[in-house]
Amino acid sequence: MISLHEVSKSYGQQRNGRLAAVQAVTLKIEDGSIHGIIGPSGAGKSTLLRLMNMLESPDTGRVVVEGKDLTAMGEAQLREARRSIGMIFQQFNLLQNRTVSGNVSIPLELAGMPKKERAERVRECLQFVGLLDKADEYPSALSGGQKQRVAIARALTNSPKVLLCDEPTSSLDPKTTNDILAVLRHVNESLGVTIVIVTHEMNVVAQICKQVSVMEDGRLTDSFTLTKRTPAV
Ligand code: ADP
Ligand code: ADP
């Protein structure tokens, strides 16, 4: 479970007046769920997501993931804890000077995994997202949907319990969006990974989310459970 307790985050210098991006948010995300966070641009969705793996540290409040209080950890402990939290982005964030394999390999290199084992794990993850045949290509040779598959493969290398998705389909056309949502559903169902999706696209939420939280002006203003799913086209 991901549990945020009274979490707040402001930006800017004190004397210029600070902007409260996230204000006293308390939220629980159940294990195995696909949880959507929706709301208008500037509402604080992306900040809230980055607080869940401490890419942003909260000014106040606690962030607990899988029973561990990330806000109480030192740098080394936090680095270790982050390995069980994958993340993907709207712009994919691939390194252009590395091949597909080279990109997927990055977290394993950082974790110090030996080369042979690493190659095996990279293959497994690429196979999972259906991109094994692109292993030696560079990102510039891929479509947007393929790039996001690479990013998902990279996020899965360390067998995370949680996958954080920041507008994962907002650069993609509707058909490619459906493909990526199918991959995310596959990650959730066959690997049991808890997924949190920040999006402004209501069709995305309607297609795959079970629980939805609504953010406005830094606060959670509503939450609901979707009972009936719109089938993917
Ligand atoms: P959303 O994802 O809902 O569009 P964000 O979390 O990106 O919202 O932003 C919430 C507010 O915080 C916005 O007003 C944004 O301009 C501000 N903000 C976000 N990141 C930063 C930053 N690194 N520095 C200063 N202000 C930021
Ligand atoms: P696909 O072929 O999988 O549908 P495209 O490459 O056509 O994906 O990209 C879909 C949309 O995403 C296009 O509007 C494109 O401009 C945008 N896009 C793709 N890759 C990037 C990128 N790296 N940075 C910014 N926008 C991108």
CA proximity to 86, closest of 185, 174, 5, 193: 193
**Is 92 part of a structural domain of the chain?**
yes
Would you state the pLDDT for residue 228?
64
pLDDT digits (tens, 9 = 90+) for 135-148: 999 999 999 999 99
pLDDT digits (tens, 9 = 90+) for 185-203: 999 999 999 999 999 999 9
**Is 93 part of a structural domain of the chain?**
yes
> Could you please report the per-residue DSSP string of 27-55?
EEE-TT-EEEEE--TTSSHHHHHHHTTTS
**Where is pLDDT greater, at 38 or 232?**
38
Q: How far is the CA of 144 from the centre of ligand 2 (A)?
A: 4
CB crowding 181-201: b at 16 or more within 10 Å, else e = bebbbebbeeeebbbbbbbeb
**Is 77 part of a structural domain of the chain?**
no
pLDDT digits (tens, 9 = 90+) for 221-230: 999 998 765 5
pLDDT digits (tens, 9 = 90+) for 148-186: 999 999 999 999 999 999 999 999 999 999 999 999 999
Q: Quick one: pLDDT band at residue 127, thresholds 50, 70, 90?
A: very high
**Residue-averaged pLDDT of the chain:** 94
**Is 193 part of a structural domain of the chain?**
no
pLDDT digits (tens, 9 = 90+) for 63-94: 999 899 999 999 999 999 999 999 999 999 99
Q: How far is the CA of 136 from the centre of ligand 1 (A)?
A: 36
Q: Tell me the C-alpha to C-alpha distance, in Å, between residue 143 and each of 135, 151, 210.
A: 14, 13, 29
pLDDT cut 70: percent of the chain above it: 96
Q: Which atom of ligand 2 lies at the shortest distance from residue 179's CA?
A: 3
Would you state the pLDDT for residue 18?
78
**Is 165 part of a structural domain of the chain?**
no
pTM: 0.87
Would you state the pLDDT for residue 14?
63
**Is 20 part of a structural domain of the chain?**
no
Maximal C-alpha separation, the chain:
54
**Is 201 part of a structural domain of the chain?**
no
Would you state the pLDDT for residue 23?
96
Would you state the pLDDT for residue 231?
60
Would you state the pLDDT for residue 4?
97
Q: Which residues line ligand 2 (CB under 6 A)?
A: 91-92, 143-145, 171-173, 176
Q: Where are the extended beta strands (E) located within the chain?
A: 2-11, 19-29, 34-38, 60-65, 68-69, 85-88, 162-166, 194-198, 211-216, 219-225
Q: Give the domain extent around 130.
A: 85-159
Give the mutation target among 18, 37, 47, 165 for probing the ligand 1 site: most ligand atoms within 8 A of CB: 47
- Number of structural domains, the chain? 1
**Is 230 part of a structural domain of the chain?**
no
CA proximity to 21, closest of 62, 53, 49: 49
Would you state the pLDDT for residue 16?
67
Q: For the residues 28-39, what does the mean pLDDT come to?
A: 96
